[in-house]
Structure 1
């Protein structure tokens, strides 16, 4: 009897937590279809015109282009570095391996706003000492987003590497393949699901980031989340809800695609 009550309470608590996370998103999606420039309940009607407004808003378009470029570049760089780091961490034994793993994963335990402030202060020091100003512009943002996505690449690719069958690589080397050919023709095909999942997840993390980007953006490098926040400073209408709905649809689609390659429950 006690066990049944405990399971019921646990299920009810999980449902409450999921509801608190999902219901606000559902309300944003719902408000994107309001046939009124003012948010009211119940809505007078429904329309798709706000999606047209969002898709034709120049600040949103520029922010989306910047976010796409940033997410693509950071995910590619993060996956390359993450693949090499995962191979070292999973396939080799050396002193300090645990420390290296902790360093690579440490951005996961640091709040993004703290990480952004630290990077901004480091970039100021770098500009003062070496004359290289990364505090505003695309390259500083890219370095920050690579740091943000790298831990997820390491986790996903490492989780995939642990379950690989080493006999395929041994067979390739026994047949005369050198280390490089074995890596590209035997190891990489087996790692494909982990690499694809890491790239997709890194893209999502970079594309939706606000806290770090907010401290490092400059003229011409405003990302979509920042453009949405700036729009809300002077306007309250369903246009921003429509733009947010499109962003949610993109992120959910990529998460579902990622889960097909590597079950997110294994690494999240």
Structure 2
């Protein structure tokens, strides 16, 4: 049963990889020949290049903001002793329990109300798109950082303070380097979540600011050929590499 399950999961990916090597633009079985030309053409496809750049920038900024929120929040959750600590954890990780399409629709409606009330354009604006992606990255960053921080020996931090370091200095010079693998893992995982998101982006992008996911979707609306298969393979490979690197810092079984 395990083998059958893995086969069902891997079959679509294997088919996409196979299709990406077909020589002819018109898909036909069996293919007349195989080629790598579709991969070499990717750099010349401006729609995918622009989509990749936009996705990369949005994911990078969303991850940076998500970390800036998640690091102090994680310290409060793990080290704090105040009423509502568990509620804070549930609040920050709540987006994990909500379908991304619902989050996207909710943000779209909320941003429309904000625009009406303040004349501040958020829908179709990169800042609004980044805000939506921050909402997606924070839950995973919090889970990874809290998982790593919970395993950190706090007596090391106390020892630094006993030697004259202030609480802030001991955190910056002892604790942060000690949980550095968790921070790197959180950054990588948050980046992957943002970069590969379609649902939220679908509601918040403008025609000139499409992400790679939306560029792929728009291409599929009128054509299916080995080029789109090559794009999908490259994107999947990037995400897989990022997850493998993340797993080396913090085992993903601890947070998923």
Same fold at TM > 0.5: yes
Correspondence for 2:58 among 70, 74, 77: 70
> SS at 2:209's partner residue?
coil
Correspondence for 1:247 among 235, 239, 242: 235
Correspondence for 2:80 among 92, 113, 122: 92
Deviates more, 1:14-23 or 1:38-47: 14-23
Does the CA contact (< 8 Å) of 1:127 and 1:133 recur in 2? yes
- 1:39 shift after superposition: 1.7
Work out whether 1:103 is the aligned partner of 2:83: no
Whole-angstrom CA distance in 1 between matches of 2:7 and 2:176 = 40
Correspondence for 2:111 among 115, 123, 128: 123
Work out whether 1:113 is the aligned partner of 2:101: yes
Whole-angstrom CA distance in 2 between matches of 1:153 and 1:18 = 28
* 1:26-175 correspondence runs (5 A): 26-175=14-163
> SS at 1:251's partner residue?
helix
Does the CA contact (< 8 Å) of 1:54 and 1:240 recur in 2? no
Q: Please name the residue that 2:174 is paired with.
A: 186
Whole-angstrom CA distance in 2 between matches of 1:172 and 1:264 = 31
Whole-angstrom CA distance in 2 between matches of 1:194 and 1:27 = 35
Does the CA contact (< 8 Å) of 1:75 and 1:203 recur in 2? yes
- 1:52 shift after superposition: 2.0
Cα offsets for 1:41-60 (capped at 9, x unmatched): 22211101111222210100
Whole-angstrom CA distance in 1 between matches of 2:62 and 2:3 = 35
Q: For this pair of structures, how many residues does the alignment match? A: 256
- 1:264 shift after superposition: 0.4
Work out whether 1:213 is the aligned partner of 2:201: yes
Whole-angstrom CA distance in 1 between matches of 2:200 and 2:107 = 8
TM score, norm. by length of structure 1: 0.93
Does the CA contact (< 8 Å) of 1:156 and 1:197 recur in 2? yes
TM score, norm. by length of structure 2: 0.98
Q: Gapped runs of 5+ residues in structure 1?
A: 1-11
Q: Gapped runs of 5+ residues in structure 2?
A: none
